[in-house]
Structure 1
Amino acid sequence: MKILLAKPVTPGKLVLNCIPPLGLGYLVTALRQDGFNQVQILDSVKDQLDYSGFTKVVKKFKPDVIGFQIFSQDLPSLQKSLAIIKKINSKAVTVAGGPHPSGLPEKSLQSFPQLDFVFCGEAEVGFPILLRALKSKRGFGKVPGLGWRDRAGRVHLNQQVFAADLDKLGFPAWDLLRPQDYPDAPQGIIFKNSPVAPIMATRGCPFSCTFCAGWTISGKKIRRRSVGNVLAEIELLYRQYGVREIHILDDNFTLNRNYLKDFCHQLLKKDFQISWCCPNGVRLDTLDKETLQLMKKAGCYYVSVGIESGSDRILRLMKKAVTTAKIKKMVNMVVSAGMPINGFFILGFPGETKQEILKTIKFAKSLELTRAAFYNYLPLPRTEAYRRLIDSGELKEDDIDWAHIFQADVPYAPPSISREGLKNLQRRAHLEFYLRPKIIWRLLKEIRSWQQLRYIFKRTKAYLGG
């Protein structure tokens, strides 16, 4: 059985981040462990494929099963890709997983007749079981996390099962992911050394932020790989693939301070040096000065934190369990430890006013942040904020333009602000934050190549709506 795991074509879109698809890499390893060895990964984003190029790959490889990693903005591409696949081979089995199918599994199957299955959440446990069921022509009712149709067309969703022992999953299939083929700074504009590779040491998030859908993939219970297992992967990447920087993509890497300290101490004992950072964000309330200094000594050169708002009222609506006063105190502590810090902010949260957004911009400028990113609020399925919008009638699921839910667009704006007005506020936030001498000087010092400079201009143009 031939299996193709793919990131879909993204025609005409500005791709701000291009990183090796770890989820697909883990799936390959799970399939290989189960005896399915004819597996390929297709990253249409990295390879800059159009639909013609995608068609050529499918015709050449002739897969029996095609699995897609799908974000909400990929839906138009998914529809076209499914049509291409079924035209080439009507018997090919199509599967979709990732954030969007995990958020709207039933809707995904109902909206795409040519999509045979979806996975809700992690699929390392369920995907090999699905393939065995297809080979033996058994039923699908016991495949964990699977969404499927019966013969009458009714949609069924099986209960999710999360891998309990992450060490047993093995490493992602780096022989197929090939980190050296990706941009120097796959996770953003800043890097210290290259090539760069992403890793995940933990999964799950126990917190209840009303805007976040991370738990729909990996659940609310924290699961950790052993420190030895994580360091073995880092050493493999260093020695076999020439990687010189690691980006840790966990939602909560710093949550357990003893685990974090053990990681740093063991990394310091290695006979090689590698830079690393936490670009996806960590919680400020998990950090202290001693731990930050240890992280820096072990090679960490910046952390990102989700600050989200400069309004205490909005922070309460988000269930962030923190105040602006505490945020300011914690940011000062991080800076005093000598650790550069990047702040994430959300603009246009449901119920937010223009005055509160302006307050957030002012608050961001008052903090000693190295960098900041201002994102428009995204109505992500299965989140508490999303459910409130749908239940109140303020937002209708069928009216959401999923194709344009990414950084440079405005999929939603609060009633008191127009979408164009919110986009202008986002532009204003970035301009006011970055057009300051100390910030410009910091950025200039961090630029290490013309490629990186071009990337900065491209990203700036996207955020400013150019």
Structure 2
Amino acid sequence: MNFSGKLKQPLSPVDATSLQNSPLMGRSGLGKVLLIYVAPEDSNYQMGGKGFYKIVRRPQLGFVYISGTLKRVGIDHDILDQTCELFDERDIIRICREENVAWVGFYTVDALILKVTLFLQRIRKALPEQLLVVGGPGTLLSRPYLDAGADIAVLGEGEYASIELCEYAAGLRDLEDIQNIIYLRDKQIVQTAPREPADLDLLPHPNRDLIDVNMYRDLLIVNNRLPYTTMITSRGCPFTCSFCTSPTVWTRKVRQRSVNNVLEEIDILVSKYGIKYISFQDDIFGLSKRWLVDFCRQLSDRKYDLNWMCILHPTSFRNHRGEMLDHMKEAGLNTISIGVQSADPEVLGNISRREEETELGYELIQEAKARQILTGTAMIVGLPGDTEETIQRSLDFTLRCRPHHAMFYKLTVLKGSPLDTPEKNAIKCSLTNEELQKWVRRATLRFNFDPKVFGQMVVYILRNNPRWLWTAVKVAPTLIGVLGLLKTNGARPDKSDGPPTTCGGYTPLRGGIRSC
């Protein structure tokens, strides 16, 4: 793209107020925005091989938020999700040639860097003048995307940035006046002024009209019901876990949506889309006791046929656990996930966690199990200071704690996380990559096929959701891989093993997609 030229009257940054009076409103010939999610080729964060998306497909929450903002201003746009629709860069090139596309935006994380950069290279070669944008946590390392052909990397939140990008594409805004982006000028990195974090209550509600909610599921949640979707009630996390990028992205600040704002979205999900299950994706759900009690009471009063799950911290509700879990269950909660990460005190200290969290996590899981709430936890192997003994200690903890479900992951050092610094990365794990992979599989097998754990899960499913067993039979090979019985190399959706439909078949992208 040619970034030369300077407007005489620069526009002010887009915010909730200026969004209502955007110069884009009612303007013709603006062009379409394409929002693209490509499925990972390989990842340490999932087992089960190429069929992983037959059992776990989550809608891209950032895209439906951007979609809501674009819809508010009247910008035509599409969402392409490779976990649900079969497409490659040739389809994107075709759409750009056949339609007036203002810009193409890719979501990226560390696990997607190779695939996204490959798409960028091929699209840039075919369409030298097309505006290409990347956004998401992966842009903390932006240079590879810019070198591959991206014009702009968006840092942080994308809602208001998406409008500024449209204004830039329409010739109404200078590039340097788009806040919180990175681009190249004369092969040098340029980063613009940071953007003020948005008031979440003032953002338009996510627009799910461009996705088929019936295509998404999470069979690892055995309580899951369809139609299913994801939500957030907050952004940010107050903790500083060194393996996580949240401290970098959100600087430990938490922004909470109001109870009324969250319930407005739930009302839409139930009435418009018939949603039966919500997976809340907050880093940590319900940090405020007052907020959570109010939310649960108002949701309970609605009497919806709705269940939900959330992510908790081992220290959540430490002085009011029974009371808070009772409120949450009455409001439809039936699953919690708790990230314990390690049961070794020294390893926990190395990742800015506290020794007490292990037992607090144990107590929280037992309180939830006593209320017939499905429990899950996650352990990371390969953390700073990890040895065979410390990993065994974590495995022993999960067997003693006996949550219904436990996942073991090999550490991936995320770009922009505290571990991605010489100071934090000075303490090494003593095991090789191959040894860690073996430990992931060994721990997964040992946990899932412990007689008490296995029996506990079978009884829970039969009592609470026996229909899950019939669905599981249809994707048995993938589930077997997730359980650790098969060696896998991560997910790789392609032309021979494409994204699944609800019937287990594949839906190619034919002649375009849903449009708003």
Among 459, 481, 487, the residue aligned to 1:461:
481
Give the TM-score taking structure 2 as reference length. Answer: 0.79
Take 2:61 and 2:280, find their aligned partners in 1: how far apart are those partners?
Answer: 12
Which residue matches 1:316? Answer: 349
Determine which of 416, 426, 441 is the counterpart of 1:427.
441
Question: Does residue 25 of structure 1 match 2:64?
Answer: yes
Q: Could you tell me which residue of structure 2 aligns to residue 349 of structure 1? A: 383
Check whether the contact 2:240–2:247 (CA below 8 A) recurs between aligned residues. no
Aligned residue in 2 for 1:5: 35
Equivalent position amino acid for 1:78 in 2:
V
Question: 1:126: how far off?
Answer: 2.0
- Structure 2, unmatched stretches of 5+, are 1-30, 43-49, 489-516
C-alpha distance 120-384 of structure 1, shift in aligned 2 (>3 A): same
Tell me the residue number matched to 1:37: 75
Matches of 2:396 and 2:473 in 1, distance apart?
27
| More off after superposition, 441-450 vs 314-323 | 441-450
- SS where residue 408 of structure 2 aligns? strand
1:163-203, Cα deviation, whole Å (9 max, x unpaired): 43212112111111231232x327x3423321111111110
CA distance in 1, matches of 2:451, 2:408: 19
Q: Aligned ranges for residues 330-369 of structure 1 at < 5 Å?
A: 330-369=364-403
CA deviation vs aligned residue, 1:340-376 (integer Å, no higher than 9, x gap): 3211111110221111111111111110311111111
Instruction: Give the one of 183, 190, 196 matched to 2:222.
Output: 190
Q: Is the 8 A contact 1:199 1:249 kept in 2?
A: yes
Partner of 2:418: 384
Match of 2:142 in 1: 105
1:169 to 203, 220, 239: 203
Instruction: Specify whether residues 366 and 221 from structure 1 end up closer, same or farther in structure 2 by C-alpha distance, changes over 3 A only.
Output: same
| One-letter amino acid of the counterpart of residue 269, structure 2 | L
Letter aligned with residue 4 of structure 1: L
Q: What is the one-letter code of the residue matched to 2:365? A: V
Change (3 A) 1:232 1:72: same
Aligned twin of 1:92: 130
| Rounded Cα–Cα distance in structure 2 between residues aligned with 1:53 and 1:286 | 46
Q: For 2:316, give the aligned amino acid.
A: T
Measure the CA separation in 1 of the matches of 2:435 and 2:347: 19
Structure 1 letter corresponding to 2:36: A
Tell me the residue number matched to 2:493.
Answer: none
Report the identity percentage: 25
Aligned to 1:296: 329
From 242, 260, 275, the equivalent of 2:307 is 275
| Equivalence map 1:247-266=2 (5 Å) | 247-266=279-298
Tell which has more relative contact order, 1 or 2 (C-alpha 8 A, sep 6+): 2
8 A contact 2:120–2:145 mirrored in 1: no
Summarize the Cα distance change of 1:272–1:441 in structure 2 as closer, same or farther, 3 Å threshold: same
* Partner residue, 1:407: none
Give the distance between the partners of 1:207 and 1:11, measured in 2 at CA.
Answer: 31
Match of 1:440 in 2: 454
Following superposition, the deviation at residue 389 of structure 1 comes to 7.1
- Match of 1:177, SS state, is coil
Structure 1 CA distance, aligned partners of 2:314 and 2:434? 32
Structure 2 CA distance for partners of 1:26 and 1:325, relative to 1, 3 Å: closer
User: 1:457 deviation in Å?
Assistant: 3.8
Matched, 1:115 2:150: yes
Q: State the SS of the aligned residue for 2:298.
A: helix
> For residue 495 of structure 2, what is the aligned residue in structure 1?
none
- 1:307 matched to 2:327? The reply is no
The one-letter code matched in structure 2 to 1:127 is S
Q: What SS does the corresponding residue of 1:334 show, helix, strand or coil?
A: helix
Residues 56-76 of structure 1, C-alpha deviation per residue, up to 9 Å, x if partnerless?
444444522000001222222
Residue in 2 that maps onto 1:129: 164
CA deviations on 1:207-233 (whole Å, 9 max, x unpaired) are 111111134444421111111111111
- What per-residue deviation string (whole Å, max 9, x for no partner) do you get for residues 370-418 of structure 1? 11111111101111122137875x9xxxxxxxxxxxxxxxxxxx55212
Structure 1: gaps (5+ residues): 395-413
1:451 to 471, 475, 486: 471
In structure 1, C-alpha distance between the alignment counterparts of 2:376 and 2:325, rounded to whole Å: 14
| Equivalent position amino acid for 2:266 in 1 | I
Match of 1:284 in 2: 314
| Distance in 2, Cα, partners of 1:61 & 1:293 | 53
The one-letter amino acid of 1:461's match is: G
2:13 corresponding residue in structure 1: none
Q: Secondary structure at the match of 1:210?
A: coil
Aligned equivalent of 1:208: 240
Q: CA RMSD in A?
A: 2.4
Q: Does 1:199 align with 2:231?
A: yes
C-alpha distance in 2 between matches for 1:195 and 1:7: 21
What is the Cα deviation at residue 132 of structure 1? 1.2
Measure the CA separation in 1 of the matches of 2:425 and 2:342: 24
- Going from structure 1 to structure 2, the CA distance change for 1:307 and 1:390 (only over 3 Å counts) comes to closer
Residue 303 of structure 1 aligns to a residue whose secondary structure is: strand
Q: What is the rounded CA distance, in whole Å, between the counterparts of 2:269 and 2:364 in structure 1? A: 33
- CA-to-aligned-CA distance 1:314-345 (integer Å, 9 cap, x gap): 11111123423333333333334443321111
Helix, strand or coil at the partner of 1:284 = coil
Looking at structure 2, the residues matched to 304 and 457 of structure 1 have their Cα atoms a distance apart, in angstroms, of 24
Query: Residues 415 and 337 (structure 1 numbering): CA distance in 2 closer, same or farther, change over 3 Å?
Result: closer
2: distance between equivalents of 1:169 and 1:84? Answer: 34
Q: How many residues are treated as equivalent by the alignment?
A: 437
